[in-house]
Chain A
């Protein structure tokens, strides 16, 4: 996976003076892999743009493509409700919090009488949501923009 390696090498150079650089690189690696996998599987376009922005206290990984917008943007919400469940299995519940942008959050479910036959086989959004400190989506016609943020500590 040369592209992922190249991006990670660039990030590693910038993080030399940061604590927990190894953990950040681990998380960045799987965010990049899953954002690119998502582009291949779901965007329906042949092109995606990946950007990495590093500031003093934050690393942002941004993927943009011109594919179809996420259907949950049109979800009918009861008045006052801002959170919609996008995936559930016996181990996790994944929500989209709707606002100016869609922010994904994950809750771990209690593992009583774990029924393996009910575990999902789709982990992409879950991996990004759990590895990022914040993971969000917005649609700015014609672009779908996914942003994963990781906090940095010197």
Chain B
């Protein structure tokens, strides 16, 4: 479901899902929090493959961000499809997450 693509200053992580929803939100949350605990690095989460997202998965990403912040780390979002980016802005999560087009913009 999530794959570490590269590890340097950040953990670059791809989400290998086209539908990010209630069915996989809990497993995603468990995996991403486990990664934060193991690696103790901020995560750049690439959501480019995700075509559909629901509130359950958005909640899991927010839970991951809260966990990261409690460790003085971060979860940064890249590769959002346009309507997912619009949804994120609609519920004001763009005020909470750092969002970039791709990984190169993060550096």
Binds B, one of A32-40, A53-61, A80-88: A32-40
Q: Is B83 in contact with A40, judged by CB distance below 8 angstroms?
A: no
A 33-68 binary contact with B (CB < 8 Å = 1; else 0)? 110010011000000000000000000000000000
Q: Is A26 in contact with B54, judged by CB distance below 8 angstroms?
A: no
A117-B66, A121-B62, A126-B91 are contacts. A1–B52 as well, Cβ < 8 Å? yes
Q: Is B49 on the interface with A (CB-CB < 8 A)?
A: no
Q: How far is the CA of A29 from the CA of B82 in the complex (A)?
A: 13
Closest to B84 in A: A30
Cβ–Cβ < 8 Å partners of A37 in chain B: 21-22, 54-56
Q: How large is the interface on B (under 10, 10 to 19, 20 to 34, 35 or more residues)?
A: 20 to 34
Is chain A's interface secondary structure helix, strand, loop, or mixed overall?
helix
Q: Is A20 on the interface with B (CB-CB < 8 A)?
A: no
Q: Is A111 on the interface with B (CB-CB < 8 A)?
A: yes
Q: How far is the CA of A122 from the CA of B65 in the complex (A)?
A: 14
Q: Is B37 on the interface with A (CB-CB < 8 A)?
A: no
Q: Is A127 on the interface with B (CB-CB < 8 A)?
A: yes
Q: Is A116 in contact with B69, judged by CB distance below 8 angstroms?
A: yes
Q: Is B87 on the interface with A (CB-CB < 8 A)?
A: yes
Q: Is B56 in contact with A108, judged by CB distance below 8 angstroms?
A: no
A26-B83, A30-B87, A37-B22 are contacts. A114–B96 as well, Cβ < 8 Å? yes
Q: Is B63 on the interface with A (CB-CB < 8 A)?
A: yes
Q: How far is the CA of A114 from the CA of B70 in the complex (A)?
A: 15
Q: Is A124 in contact with B55, judged by CB distance below 8 angstroms?
A: yes
Q: How far is the CA of A131 from the CA of B91 in the complex (A)?
A: 9
Q: Using CB atoms and an 8 Å cutoff, list the residues of chain A in contact with chain B.
A: 1, 4, 26, 29-30, 33-34, 37, 40-41, 91-92, 108, 111, 114, 116-117, 119-124, 126-127, 130-131
5 smallest CB-CB distances across A and B, nearest first, come from A121-B59, A123-B55, A124-B55, A37-B54, A1-B52
A111-B92, A116-B96 are known; give 4 further A-B pairs, CB within 8 A: A121-B63, A127-B55, A130-B90, A131-B90
